[in-house]
Amino acid sequence: MKLKLDTKIGPAAEKALEPYIGKLYDMQGLRLMAIVEIKQEDKNAPPPDSDAGLWVKARIASLEVASPEQNDALREAQRALYLQRTARGTLDEDGFMQLDERTLELTAGMLHVIETARLTAALRHWATYARRVNGQPELTLSEVRHELDAIANGLTTALDHARDDMGDEAGGER
């Protein structure tokens, strides 16, 4: 599936960009931080026997540009969204999620960010595991129960690890 980004922007987005047009013209390579809303405009629906690929067309419906004082906050939000989308890790021998090196670099050592990334990676792992189990139609009821138990135990381990890290002062129960 392909994304086609319409170069025509919505009137609200155009109005938000008006004060920056001169700066964009004058300052080669200038970057502006903004919050953007993207709207689906069109899509194709080729017949099943067609060789045509699927595509969707979208355009910028609205946006707001950050002031210089707001840039850091928007960059932090962008980094948090990227981390949520890309967090990865592996399970250790005790069933705890160990984040990979790149994910840890993105957390910048902030405990809540590390924990969010670890839980995201654990959820992604167990969701993939559940899909793999679900794709095996020949499993018996006993085998399905065993696999569901493994998933439940894995999720519980991830949550218990989070609770242990928070301690009593953060409201975590032991």
Question: 20: phi > 0 → left, psi -120 to 50 → alpha, else beta; which?
Answer: alpha
How far is it, in rounded angstroms, from Cα 163 to Cα 158?
Answer: 9
Summarize pLDDT for 121-168 with one digit per residue, the tens: 899 999 999 999 999 999 999 999 999 999 999 999 888 876 555 443
Q: In this predicted structure, what is the pLDDT of residue 94?
A: 79
How far is it, in rounded angstroms, from Cα 11 to Cα 89?
Answer: 43
Pick the more confident residue, 174 or 17: 17
64, containing H or E segment: strand 55-65
Mean pLDDT in residue range 100-126: 83
Q: How many angstroms separate the Cα of 46 from the Cα of each of 54, 56, 58, 96?
A: 7, 12, 18, 45
Question: 95: phi > 0 → left, psi -120 to 50 → alpha, else beta; which?
Answer: left
pTM of the entire predicted model: 0.57
Q: In this predicted structure, what is the pLDDT of residue 169?
A: 39
Summarize pLDDT for 40-60 with one digit per residue, the tens: 999 998 888 888 888 999 999
- % helix, strand, coil for the chain, step of 5: 55, 20, 25
Neighbours of 164 (CB within 10 A): 11
Q: In this predicted structure, what is the pLDDT of residue 81?
A: 83
For residue 16, pLDDT beyond 60? yes
Strand, helix or coil at 157? helix
Amino acid letter, residue 79? R
Summarize pLDDT for 59-98 with one digit per residue, the tens: 999 999 999 899 998 998 888 888 888 888 888 887 778 8
For residue 174, pLDDT beyond 70? no
Question: 167: phi > 0 → left, psi -120 to 50 → alpha, else beta; which?
Answer: left
pLDDT band per the 50, 70, 90 thresholds, residue 7: confident
Q: In this predicted structure, what is the pLDDT of residue 114?
A: 81
How far is it, in rounded angstroms, from Cα 165 to Cα 95?
Answer: 15
Q: In this predicted structure, what is the pLDDT of residue 142?
A: 94
